[in-house]
Chain A
Amino acid sequence: MNPAAQTPEPAPAPAAPAISDAERAELRRQGILLTSIEELYNWGRSNSVWPLQFGLACCAIEMIAASMARFDIARFGSEVFRPSPRQADLLIVSGTVTKKMAPQVVRLWNQMPEPKYCIAMGACAISGGPFKQGYNVLKGIDRYIPVDLYLPGCPPRPEALLHGLMELQAKIRAQPLTGPAAPAHLRPGADGGECVIPDFGPHDLEPPHDPARWQPPRLIRTE
């Protein structure tokens, strides 16, 4: 007997009401843990962001200080500085990127597995900083690799790096695991894509920036 023939179509179940954080905390006190795979997954990876052990200039000194006992980056689960890009989740571009060093930085980024994140630490990594007009300084690492977080300062103090790391953790926690905004490794068919490694040209890096990732800012005139 087909029950659908006799009983009317059941009304669709009402969507579960969103549970507020207070209710969830109350449930947790009662021994009931309500969560989603997405939340659990992001909770895990946001609390074990392993940076690449890689420094370029004075910002690297602040990064090292952040990893030591006074600031103690281990409180945020990022104390494991990996000496191999294959094992790292986070590239902290800490310092001036010279044009001679830029291809190696991009190559390290390409060698990191997805999901991977990049912090441009300090004025130099963001834009070239005080050396912007220099003959051998790249005007920002975002010309070649996608930057998740810009951390200003010259150099930023370790507290600033920790703040940046917390912001990055918040960004990771908010990442959905499905849909177009998911990390590249979870999107079927999506290739995170290798970044263009620039060549050493006779006068400048070739190309001087990756046109697909970065364009010089346009000036929009408004009355």
Chain B
Amino acid sequence: MEAIEQLHARLSARFPDAAPTVVLNPGPAAQHSLLVPATQARAIAEFLRDDPELQLDTCSNVTGIDWPEREVTETVRRTVTEPPAADAPPGTAPAAKVVEEKVRRVVPGHLEVVYHLYSVARGHGPVILRLRTGDRGEKVALPSLTPVWRACEFQEREVFDLFGVVFTGHPDLRRLLMWDEFRNHPMRKDYVEPDDYEWEPTPHDRILAQARRHYPVPPTGSGEPAPR
């Protein structure tokens, strides 16, 4: 199969308005992926399926990723001009100085859907597509690729159920694993499960905090014996 750069070049020539970007995977797996703009996702998917050299006829996996809003600290270099010192001889040019500053930047959150495509006919793959939503609240609609690959149907329902991505054009978008009355999306990072703690002997981390809340240790001197 052609390398991801070649594929990217071909897609950019074919879809000049909505060229995908390559997301490189620096790990040893080196499974690079294509970040596809949502507007053209359907057309690009059909191209990948029908292109005689690719023939990506199988979508083996659809999965979701939640990227919550996060704050990153970046170091930026900036050139500042300092006014000449008071005792400098007149006519001295202001000195240019490079300073490093730490800048905090908020990266907005979004949801991502990843498709793994294979070609059974040509025996190659995977080609990995990524689709991103606008944010995690209102703009969570993405075009469904179920009309292109029928295998996406249940997996897109699962992503809808657990992450809350709304796939427009999906033939039967209902919850898959949770019940219909359920209101949350449990695979999102900010999902808060019901506070239904049950004592267990060796709690850790989050469960330990829950255990302390449900079984508070009496303050010393309160008359109650200390826990062993």
Given A135-B193, A208-B196, A216-B199, A202-B181 contact (CB < 8 Å): yes
**A133 adjacent to chain B (CB < 8 Å):** yes
Bound state CA distance, A140 and B199, in angstroms?
A: 13
Q: Which of A127, A132, A139, A221 contacts B228 (CB 8 A)?
A: A221
**A173 adjacent to chain B (CB < 8 Å):** no
**B87 adjacent to chain A (CB < 8 Å):** no
The reply to whether B179 and A219 contact each other, CB–CB distance below 8 Å, is: no
**A223 adjacent to chain B (CB < 8 Å):** yes
Chain B, Cβ-Cβ closest to A201: B181
Chain B residues within an 8 Å CB radius of A133: 193, 207
The reply to whether A202 and B182 contact each other, CB–CB distance below 8 Å, is: yes
**B227 adjacent to chain A (CB < 8 Å):** yes
Residue-wise interface mask of A (79-116) relative to B, using a CB-CB cutoff of 8 A (1 in contact, 0 not): 00000000000000000000110000000000000000
The reply to whether B177 and A219 contact each other, CB–CB distance below 8 Å, is: no
Chain B, Cβ-Cβ closest to A139: B198
Q: Which of B183, B200, B218, B226 contacts A203 (CB 8 A)?
A: B183
Nearest-Cβ distance from residue B149 to partner chain A, whole angstroms: 27
Chain B, Cβ-Cβ closest to A143: B198
Nearest-Cβ distance from residue A125 to partner chain B, whole angstroms: 15
A-side interface mostly: loop
Chain A, Cβ-Cβ closest to B207: A133
The range of chain B's interface size is: 20 to 34
Chain B, Cβ-Cβ closest to A138: B196
Nearest-Cβ distance from residue A198 to partner chain B, whole angstroms: 11
The reply to whether A203 and B194 contact each other, CB–CB distance below 8 Å, is: yes
The reply to whether B191 and A135 contact each other, CB–CB distance below 8 Å, is: yes
**A7 adjacent to chain B (CB < 8 Å):** no
The reply to whether A100 and B183 contact each other, CB–CB distance below 8 Å, is: no
**B178 adjacent to chain A (CB < 8 Å):** yes
The reply to whether B196 and A200 contact each other, CB–CB distance below 8 Å, is: no
Chain A residues within an 8 Å CB radius of B190: none
The reply to whether A200 and B198 contact each other, CB–CB distance below 8 Å, is: no
Chain B residues within an 8 Å CB radius of A203: 182-184, 194
The reply to whether A223 and B193 contact each other, CB–CB distance below 8 Å, is: no
**A159 adjacent to chain B (CB < 8 Å):** no
Chain A residues within an 8 Å CB radius of B225: 221-223
The reply to whether A219 and B215 contact each other, CB–CB distance below 8 Å, is: yes
Selected A-B contacts with CB under 8 Å, 14 pairs: A135-B186, A136-B186, A139-B198, A200-B180, A201-B181, A202-B181, A204-B196, A216-B198, A216-B199, A219-B199, A219-B215, A221-B218, A221-B228, A223-B226
